[in-house]
Amino acid sequence: MYDVLAKHYDSLVKDEDATKAYVDFTTANTSGKKTLELACGSGEISLALARVGFDMLATDISQQMLDVAKEKDEEHLVDYKWMDMTDIDSEDTFDNVLCYCDSMNYLEGSQLSDMFHSVYAHLNEDGVFLFDMHTLDRLDEFSDEFYEAGIVDGIEFVWNIQSEDTSLYHSFIFYNEQGVPSYEHHVQNVFDPKQVKQLLEETGFKVSIYTDFDKEGIQSGEKHFFVCRKEQK
């Protein structure tokens, strides 16, 4: 994934207001600064957090996305590492672990519990795991196909999203200057937030849920935000 999309990702979805909202949400729900970001993508959030004082290790399974992130980090504020978020490869522990921009929705349901335990093991006491997920409302939103076509970075593209059962299917086509298409397909799984909360609590986390950053509890919206604290024993 992101082999083709990486170089056009920011042009398609970069949103400075959303980045600020993620920074504000992180700052409001953390105290320590040593932070591991899983699935950092193009690095917008990790770089913004580093600029306000967080000590960031940004990781992703896509080397192409990491290359984009490194290129924009001209001040070398962030450390970068290739990593599969389902297998945290670090001997360090962290004050915070982050996984934003619906990256968790790329997991299969069977992977959630193992990942939660891995994150828990890599958090310091009183550390915090922050992540977001699509709400169940998104399945209804994309029951009718979303279609977008236009020009990005000087080339034509097509982007489709459609839901089926409990998954969202994204299809991208990018046409080069000769009109030759490149294809990329993503599948995101949408989870019941109550079941996710139960898994987190079984792992040992104390969990709070917000909808669209600042609405308390499970409400209608686009994203649920989970604040999961590893309490001191």
Q: How is residue 120 annotated by DSSP?
A: H
Query: Can you name the residues that pair with 225 across neighbouring β-strands?
Result: 132, 210
**CA 19 to CA 49: how far, in whole Å?**
9
pLDDT tens, residue by residue, 104-128? 999 999 999 999 999 999 999 999 9
Please state the φ and ψ torsions of residue 225, each to the nearest 5 degrees: -110, 125
Structure-token pair, residue 77: 């504020």
**Domain 5-135+191-230 class in CATH:** alpha beta
Determine the angle formed by the axes of helices 193-203 and 109-121, rounding to 10 degrees.
40
Cβ-contact 119, 97 below 8 angstroms: yes
| Of 92, 95, 90, the residue nearest 128 (C-alpha) | 95
pTM above 0.85, yes or no: yes
Over residues 49-74, mean pLDDT: 97
Q: What is the pLDDT of residue 114?
A: 95
Q: What is the pLDDT of residue 205?
A: 97
**CA 191 to CA 169: how far, in whole Å?**
15
Half-sphere exposure for 192 (CA within 13 Å, toward CB):
5
Domain extents in the chain? 5-135+191-230, 138-189
pLDDT tens, residue by residue, 189-229? 999 999 999 999 999 999 999 999 999 999 999 999 999 99
pLDDT range class, residue 3, cuts 50, 70, 90: confident
Q: Provide CB contacts within 8 A for 155, sequence distance 6+.
A: 174, 175, 176, 177
Q: Report the b/e string of 29-60 with b at 16+ CB within 10 A.
A: bbeeeebbbbbbbbbbbbbbbbeeebbbbbbb
Query: Can you name the residues that pair with 129 across neighbouring β-strands?
Result: 97, 228
Half-sphere exposure for 43 (CA within 13 Å, toward CB):
29
